Chain A
Amino acid sequence: GTVTESATGLPVPGVNVIVQGTTNGTISNFDGEYSIDNVSDGDILSFSFLGFATQEITYSGQSTLDIQLEEDSAALDEVVVIGYGSVSKKDATGAVDQVSTEDFNQGPVQTAGQLITGKVAGVSVTSGGGAPGEGQTINIRGQGSLSLTSSPLIVVDGIPLSNDAVGGSRNALDFINPSDIESMTILKDASSTAIYGSRAANGVIMITTKKGKGNEFKFNLSTSTTVYTPTDYVDVLDGDQFRTLINEIGDDAAIERLGNTNTDWQDEIYTTSFGSEHNLSTTGRIGDFMPVRASLGYTDQDGVLKGDNFTRTTASVNLRPSFLDSHLTVELNGRGMYTENTFANRDAIGSSVDFDPTQSVFDENSPFGGYFTWLNSENVQNSLAPTNPVALLAFKDDTSEVRRFIGNAKVDYDFHFLPELTATVNVGLDKSNANGRVVTSDQMPSSAQDWNGAYNSYSNENTNKLFDAYLTYDNDFDVHSVNAVAGYSYQSFENDNYSYDSELKEDGLDFEDINKAKSVLLSYFGRFNYNFDNRYLFTATMRADSSSKLNPDDRWGYFPSFALAWNLNNESFLESSAVVDQLKLRVGYGEIGNVNGLDDYNFLTKYAGSIGGASYQLGNQFYQTYRPEPLNEDLRWEVGKTYNLGLDYGLFSNRISGSVNVYLKKTEDLISFVTVDPFTNFANAIDDNIGDMENRGIEFEINVVPVRKENFNWSIGYNISYNENEITNLPDEVPVGGINGGTGNTIQLHKEGFAPFSYWVFKQVYDENGRPVEGAYVDRNGDNEINDDDKYLYKDPYADISMGLNTNLNYKSWDLAIVTRANLGNYAYNNMASSKSFETRATANAILRNLQSDYYNTGFVTTTETNLSSDYYVQDASFFKLDNITLGYTLPEIFKESTLRIYGSALNVLTVTDYEGLDPEISGGIDNNFYPRPRTFAIGANLNF
């Protein structure tokens, strides 16, 4: 027979023709012709070619079988999850990106955020460091708030999660096994997020987990082993350099303190570590009415900081029975997670940079477990000395177990008398429970004279409940189609924390502390979608939110949004275009509130009782004290108004597709922690609705498929986004960004007319050789004094331009995926250099301390607040990173209907940057005691049977 393309009638070469369930197959030739033998009646012939819908024909003795392949419009008909429903991608009116399983980042991925790093324009995912299971900061379209949470709302199978951290956990997204995720949908603009109202101010990430499907049970077993290697250390003087220095600058006492070895303390605390991951999942159907998916996962990973370990066991079940001729469908999701953490003592990171490289790790005379310690005459540790980093790791045992369950039951009922109308009830529970303890051995070097170890423990329980009920009406009338949703949502968030401190107990003080809080969010929402002839699309949403965090008069916020879209490709002038498959112009506007991260009960007069060691003596008695708490009766919703203009395009059979978005987000009544006159309140700063901010940006995404052949496929994805944040109104200047060195120094400032978290620094003066002159700064106001009035705002930690470039290659059984990223215009404050590279530090406090190598560049002798605040330390941290290379090979049919894919991955392969610190990618921009991100190599296997 011959295979042709139905639209054009042209022959299609390279079509895969196979007798299903066998290895019997062939490929169409250049003229689209094929022939195949050994076909019996009843056999199913499958014709597949990328970009076209697969056709299955039951053979019934034909000698010739011509096939017309239809272009696969799946890419356009892809269903995109939006709040309280879904929509086909071509009908979406907002700025929405969906990343599905096949597009996820590959290799050893521990947390959901890693799946989409670098994949979506305007979405930045920055890990806090290189620890196993480490959390990520996810920002959509820049920094959205000053005081409140800037992270997006995460919705898992319809359950919006709490923003509260789970104590004892490394990462709020740890609970979900990435291999259970089917897709992640990012809602970026207000017209798509407004349905989540107040919770969606910073965008929404909708996580949809894999569901049961298929008739028979299929299994997937995956396993991988990973090696983590430290790549780089903070530059410090080595033993010989340090000896030379001390002999030069030290007095006799200092020189006498020198040891005679060369110890690389960072090498002592970091190591190559290993991890492994195993997942088993099954999907199928019980009876003929209940699709099932179940999975088990286990991850065990050591950190490169010695002793760090993270293990996670996850289990999930998804059941979707349907009854009454599918009028009633029920979806049950249960997801359990158990993690065990062993936290290596991160104090070792800073102390390994500080510690004198001429000393040995051990000293047999040390009273502290034989570890070298800077002792004073009392034979306890000098109270200003760093503690031996190896001892820090050895004598602190910090462990936790976290259990979390997220489950929901969702019932959809299509009314018998009106099947277009569906009633949905979704009930969810997110409960987590963490227990942790920190045992510090009495062998730990300490300056306390009565030191006999410490035991601290804590528990943390969060209970979040959800109840949603809504009606959906969906109907077509001729060329009009309508989809309307109206509903009600109730959420409560409770947390209950307990802590225990053995040292307080020894001192006879209150050694137990309990913290509790509860808040409630109640909402009504509605959405109306109207589609005229698949050409004009209109969406309007409205959400009314009420939060217990706000006073009864300002409690309700109303958040509307509108969006219009025009499918130009369905207009007569483009309909028959051979080039344009999709061309959709979108415009949207929406308002969204925010109180996420706001403390509870700010509007109530309340008093805080003092705890542990803050009693006051009157007479012979110590009294607990009652402090009136800062009050703000007028807190209102922070409101973000977003304008978005977008274009989605698909060209040349969607071999080129993507989108462009331009947005402006104006946040008004910004809640920030700002100065209040303490004569008028009980504090000097409160959360208040003050100030405005703007985020502006452009995003561009393009996906290109240069080669689409039977044995060879190549696709390239590129995204670039430009974002600018600016505080447009703030009567107050708010210093933020605490740094090391001195006490209480900050390096960033929120100020009107500048990006939030801009660095607030002195302008360094340089000599003719380009060396910074110690203590010399530009007297910007010309008053012959250098004080705060001479500081200026210089750069900020956020990238102006972020890019992601990734590519996938499939050649026969081989697959290769490469992910790269670049950030431009992000600046970091090198706190390791600023606080640890001045000369007097080396010999101060009757001990020796190593210096960071930047000392050779500056020769600074002392440190002061002004040195710390020099713009010299604000450095361009633009970077290009080769994040992920994964190469896989698939063995088809290793046995019946089974495939096995084996792969190797390398992560964090290469970083190109001018930044002088350890890693240019620092969340928040202050580079201080950073847990180095290891280079990672993994091999794994994936068996489907």
Chain B
Amino acid sequence: CHADLDQDPIDPDSFTETNVFADAQEAKSALAKLYASLALTGQQGPAGQADITGIDEGTSQYTRMLYSLNELTTDNAVVGWGDPGLPNLHAMSWGASNDFSTGMYYRLAQEVSFCNSFITNAQSFGDDPEVAAYIAEARFLRAFAYYNLIDIYGNVPLVTQVSTVPPEQASRKEIFDFIEAELLDIQANLKESGANEYGRVDKVASWALLSKLYLNADSWVSEDRYSDAVEFSKMAINSTYSINTTDANGNGSAYDELFLADNNSNGAQSEFIFTANFDGNESKTYGGTTFLVHASIGGSMEASEFGVNGGWEGLRATKALVNQFDYAVTQTDDDGNPVEWEDSRAMFYTDGQSLEINTIANTFTDGYAVTKFKNIDSEGNQGSDGGGDFVDTDLPLIRLAEMYLNYAEAVVRGGAGGDLATATGYINELRERAFGDNSGNINSSDLTLNFILDERARELYWEGQRRTDLIRYNLFTTGSYLWPFKGGTRSGTAVEDFRTLFPLPGNLISVNPNLTQNTGY
């Protein structure tokens, strides 16, 4: 009977390494997990077998945490819920065990481990070119995780092999160099621009991520890499990707298509370099766009107009974000507050909403609501989930418009290889889409650093970039720029500079003696 002690899994949903890496087709399901980790939260939709434990599963979704860490901490957004650690984000008073900074670290480190395991195991297929592309994509995803890690935490361990040995902490510079080297190295095996299937990355993604990395090099590792930023932005801009100009729903703007339920097919996909994909039936989560759509609805908004069955009454814009569109106001209400704008990117719901925020907690009507994300396709139909719970809309993690802005900023910051006129042209391309004509165009003399930062807010708000941008401009913690409830006071106040980095999870510091906590925490 002793042999009976050797039991093998008998569950039909459980597989061994041999099953998973039996052939390239099976291995694709393991690759799919590497992508899915940035969109879904576990092995059961919408929740049930979570990847990350100790945090609400829906909350643990990558883009939802990215939104929380990079938008809620800024002038872009507030949230009215009392979830653990959440009110501390906008108040900039998070501690070392904050649920969001902890959950995000876990999610990203886990993605690194998933990628490491995949890369090691997939090597066994030798020369299969399709598998070589899988491995390059896995390395891209690992580099993407590390890009987020140095952005959010700075100094983290650099791990490229699965091992149970507690890792040493690497410096921000070492991580930076690793990401750069990896992205340069994998280009040989990534597919050509536009040659891969939707949802999987090609060479352009590695260029785009390098562009982002170089743009922040000064802020993160005190290196002037603006010329590299110019170069790689340019490569991405000159690829097969193009700014979406298809106004598929005929409402006069091709901007809103980027955030509709059919944005994987309505033309918007031409702009998407890297996406997190969602589907109301097949890929369900309480994070992602399901979160962005539901959480943005409340007050007198009609959920059905957004293709969902109800609002979660959470997310609103601060006055600072609304004010970015001041120059384009076409109509105000009785109190003189703006209610209509020429710039179609100003997607605010104002009925019954006050511009000014008095109370953040549980008071949806304080602050304008944002209508950017919808679960309606360009025909006006609701997404595929008939119940209106889960959203189809994919979320661009990198889209070409950002490359335009990166190019402009790198040029203005002194990067070689580009010019102001081209940069102005790029910005005007975005603004023409926003205004529907050239009435919003600028001159090259208007293209200052501050203008670019504001333009980034207008183009990219709520897409998970704002905190990084403000830090690059040294405005995130300082008193040079205040927004409502910055630092926990209504009129806003500066906070200590150490908050440009989030803490490493407090628990990990006690588990892994090799780790040193970030200053201030």
Contacts and interface: CB of A to CB of B under 8 A. Distances in A.
B114 to A, nearest CB: 7
B11 interface: yes
A627 B9 contact: no
Contacts of B302: 376-378
Given A450-B387, A516-B12, A741-B82, A675 B283 contact: no
B interface bracket (residues with beta carbon within 8 Å of A): 35 or more
Given A518-B10, A746-B84, A681 B385 contact: no
A841 B114 CA distance: 42
Contact of B361 (A378, A447, A862): A862
Interface stretch (A7-15, A292-300, A506-514, A820-828): A506-514
Contact of A383 (B9, B40, B164, B311): B311
B414 to A, nearest CB: 37
A215 interface: no
Contacts of A863: 82, 361-362
A95 to B, nearest CB: 32
A865 B86 CA distance: 8
B1 A625 contact: no
B135 interface: no
B7 A600 contact: yes
Given A520-B7, A612-B45, A679-B109, A617 B283 contact: yes
A interface bracket (residues with beta carbon within 8 Å of B): 35 or more
B167 A680 contact: yes
Interface in B363-392: 363-364, 382, 385-390
A298 B141 CA distance: 62
A515 B11 contact: yes
B112 A743 contact: no
B13 A384 contact: no
A778 interface: no
Interface stretch (A77-85, A714-722, A731-739, A917-925): A731-739
B82 A867 contact: yes
A628 B88 contact: no
B93 A786 contact: yes
A519 interface: yes
B204 interface: no
B112 to A, nearest CB: 6
B13 A611 contact: yes
Given A609-B29, A627-B43, A555 B5 contact: yes
A613 interface: yes
B166 interface: yes
A360 interface: no
Name the residue in B55, B97, B106, B387 with the highest tally of chain A Cβ atoms < 10 Å from its Cβ. B387
B54 A449 contact: no
A606 B15 contact: yes
A787 B32 contact: no
B206 interface: no
B29 A624 contact: yes
Contacts of A607: 14-17, 19-20, 30
Interface in A701-751: 731-735, 741-746
Contacts of B49: 608, 611, 614
Contact of A675 (B33, B45, B298, B507): B507
Contacts of B388: 447-450
A627 B361 CA distance: 37
Given A520-B4, A609-B43, A449 B93 contact: no
Interface in A748-791: 785-789
A380 interface: yes
A814 interface: no
A757 to B, nearest CB: 16
A601 to B, nearest CB: 5
A612 to B, nearest CB: 6
A611 B43 contact: yes
Contacts of A735: 54
Given A448-B388, A678-B113, A744-B55, A610 B298 contact: no
Nearest to A736: B54
Nearest to B96: A789
Contacts of A617: 198-199, 264, 277, 279, 282-283
Contacts of B159: 679-680
Interface stretch (A131-139, A163-171, A231-239, A545-553): A545-553
Interface string A193-204: 000000000000
A610 B113 contact: no
A622 B12 contact: no
Nearest to A624: B29
A680 B113 contact: yes
A744 B44 contact: no
B15 A616 contact: no
A679 B162 CA distance: 8
Nearest to A622: B282
Interface string B269-310: 000000001010111100000000000001110111000011
B138 to A, nearest CB: 13
A357 B300 CA distance: 24
A546 B19 CA distance: 28
Contacts of A731: 510-511
B389 to A, nearest CB: 7
B85 interface: yes
B17 A787 contact: no
Contact of A745 (B83, B279, B387): B83
B11 A683 contact: no
B220 interface: no
A446 B388 CA distance: 11
A523 B389 CA distance: 51
Contact of A618 (B5, B95, B198): B198
A735 B199 CA distance: 36
A79 to B, nearest CB: 32
A509 B281 contact: yes
Given A626-B33, A865-B82, 4 more contacts: A383-B303, A617-B279, A677-B109, A681-B113
30 contacts: A376-B304, A383-B309, A447-B387, A448-B309, A450-B388, A451-B387, A490-B1, A516-B11, A604-B16, A605-B16, A608-B14, A609-B14, A610-B42, A611-B43, A614-B44, A616-B283, A625-B29, A629-B14, A679-B112, A680-B113, A682-B114, A683-B52, A684-B106, A685-B54, A734-B54, A745-B84, A862-B363, A863-B82, A864-B87, A865-B83
Across the A-B interface, the 5 shortest Cβ-Cβ residue pairs = A383-B310, A613-B45, A744-B56, A619-B197, A448-B387
